């Protein structure tokens, strides 16, 4: 008697790799056909994944947001001395929404607080 209560095993990553291989897309990858460095097989798997991803040029979403927020804060700081209060406050709200998204995706040590018009100079230091 078979146990039908267990869903079938689903190997999503394996399926994606097989599909890519069937489309002859593996040969174009950097390092194709070369052995992996020995350090990839020792220690923490997640740390190795992060290193491999970084070596391949992958940038996590939270890091992209961090660069975007930094640019937005610098723009706000440039507008601040002569800008209209309402427009500046709207930009602060937009930046704080991005900061909230950043904080949902980043590692806990990278969490950052909200900004205000009074804290723009401090925010530039924190986000640069």
Token readout for 87 is: 């427009």
Rg of the Cα trace of the chain?
22
Q: What is the mean pLDDT of residues 12-36?
A: 75
pTM score, whole prediction: 0.60
Q: How far is CA 17 from the centre of its chain?
A: 22
Question: Which 8-state DSSP code applies to residue 35?
Answer: P
DSSP assignment, residue 86?
H
Mean predicted lDDT score pLDDT of the chain = 83
Instruction: Say how far apart CA 112 and CA 94 lie, in whole Å.
Output: 15
Rounded Cα distance, 114 and 93, in Å: 9
Q: Would you say residue 38 has pLDDT above 70?
A: yes
The closest alpha carbon to 83, from 117, 124, 123, 37, belongs to 117
What is the C-alpha separation between 81 and 94, in angstroms, rounded?
Answer: 19
What number is the average pLDDT over the span 3-14? 67
- Per residue in 57-97, pLDDT (tens digit) is 888 888 899 999 999 999 999 988 887 888 999 999 999 99
Kind plus residue range of the DSSP H or E element containing 85: helix 85-105
């Amino acid at each position: 008697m078979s146990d039908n209560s267990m869903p079938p095993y689903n190997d999503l990553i394996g399926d994606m790799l097989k599909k890519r291989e069937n489309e002859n897309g593996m040969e174009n990858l950097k390092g194709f056909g070369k052995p992996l460095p020995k350090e990839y097989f020792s220690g923490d798997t997640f740390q190795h994944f992060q290193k491999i991803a970084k070596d391949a040029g992958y940038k996590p979403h939270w890091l992209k947001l961090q660069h975007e927020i930094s640019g937005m804060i610098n723009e706000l700081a440039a507008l601040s001395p002569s800008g209209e209060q309402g427009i500046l406050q709207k930009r602060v709200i937009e930046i704080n929404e991005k900061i909230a998204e950043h904080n949902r995706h980043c590692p806990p040590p990278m969490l950052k607080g909200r900004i205000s018009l009074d804290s723009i100079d401090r925010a530039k230091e924190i986000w640069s």
